[in-house]
Amino acid sequence: MVRDPRSGRNALPVEEALLERVRELLRGAPKLEEKRMFGGIGFMVRGKLCVSVGPGRVMCRIDPETHDAVVARKTCSTVVMRGRPMRGYVRVKSADVKGKRELDYWVKISLDYNAKIARARVKAKPRRPAATVDRSSR
């Protein structure tokens, strides 16, 4: 059993084969980074969480507007953190992404949402810098 260095608790090992499959699907994504999070490895695309692979599951960040339709699929559930359902985040059991087509689907909708929020950020007006106060005359 592997120990989580932060909590000191036993941590379940991440399924290396699944992790490698997700890496391959995300290869070439803009500004791709891997970070330890949520008990596994999170894949950040353009500075935003896209997919996370953990013990027995894949967590995907999807469009909150399509959340209900996606959750209607029998192969996923809404992520719950600290008792609160997280709209736009779904958990898929690793057994439900054994085939290439299934994993491709989940990674694709995660990348699609990531691209959508990246476009929205570009369209948003830049924030005005905070007013500065000249304190030199005091």
All domains of the chain, ordered by start, with CATH? 12-115 (3.90.1150.30)
CA 51 to chain CA centroid, Å, is: 4
CA distance 123 to 135: 35
Q: Which residues does residue 3 pair with via DSSP β-bridges, in sequence order? A: 10
Confidence of residue 120 (pLDDT cuts 50, 70, 90): confident
pLDDT at 133 over 80: no
- Confidence (pLDDT) at 2: 47
Length of the chain: 138
Cβ neighbours for 11, distance < 8 A, ≥ 6 positions apart: 1, 2, 3, 4, 39, 55
pLDDT at 84 over 80: yes
pLDDT at 10 over 90: no
- The predicted model scores a pTM of 0.77
- Confidence (pLDDT) at 106: 96
Query: 57, 58, 54: which is closest to 13 by C-alpha?
Result: 54
CA distance 90 to 71: 8
CA distance 61 to 117: 11
